[in-house]
Amino acid sequence: MTVEEENVVITNAQEARELTEGTQKTGNNTKKFLIIGILVAIVLIALITLATIYLVKEENQQRTEQIRDVFIIFLALQSLLIGTAMVILIVQLSSLINLLQNEIRPIINSTSETVNTLKGTAKFLSNNLADPVIKLNQYAVMIKRIFKPAKK
Per-position DSSP letters for 8-62, written without gaps between them: HHHHHHHHHHHHHHHHHHHHHHHHHHHHHHHHHHHHHHHHHHHHHHHHHSGGGHH
How distant, in Å, are the alpha carbons of 103, 105, 114, 123 from that of 109?
Answer: 10, 6, 9, 21
**Considering the domain boundaries, does residue 14 fall inside one?**
yes
* Chain centre distance of CA 91: 25
Does some domain include residue 136? no
Cα separations (Å) of 30 from 23, 24, 27, 35, 39? 10, 10, 5, 9, 14
Range of the domain at 4: 1-56
Rounded CA gap, 99 and 93, in Å? Answer: 10
Structural domain contains residue 11: yes
By C-alpha distance, which of 46, 67, 45 is closest to 56? 67
Considering the domain boundaries, does residue 116 fall inside one? no
Q: Is residue 51 part of a domain?
A: yes
- The answer to whether residues 55 and 64 touch, using CB atoms and an 8 Å cutoff, is yes
In a domain, 105, yes or no: no
Residues 38, 40, 44, 50: is their CA dihedral positive or negative?
Answer: positive
pLDDT tens string 23-58: 666 677 888 999 999 999 999 999 999 988 888 888
pLDDT digits (tens, 9 = 90+) for 82-134: 999 999 999 999 999 998 888 888 888 889 999 999 999 988 888 888 888 88
Q: How many domains does the chain have?
A: 1
Q: What local confidence, expressed as pLDDT, does residue 149 receive?
A: 74
Per-residue confidence (pLDDT) for residue 81, from 0 to 100: 97
In a domain, 106, yes or no: no
Query: Do the domain assignments include residue 67?
Result: no
- The gap between the terminal CA atoms of the chain, to the nearest Å, is 49
Q: What is the pTM of this model?
A: 0.43
Spatial distance between the Cα atoms of 24 and 107, rounded to a whole number of angstroms: 51
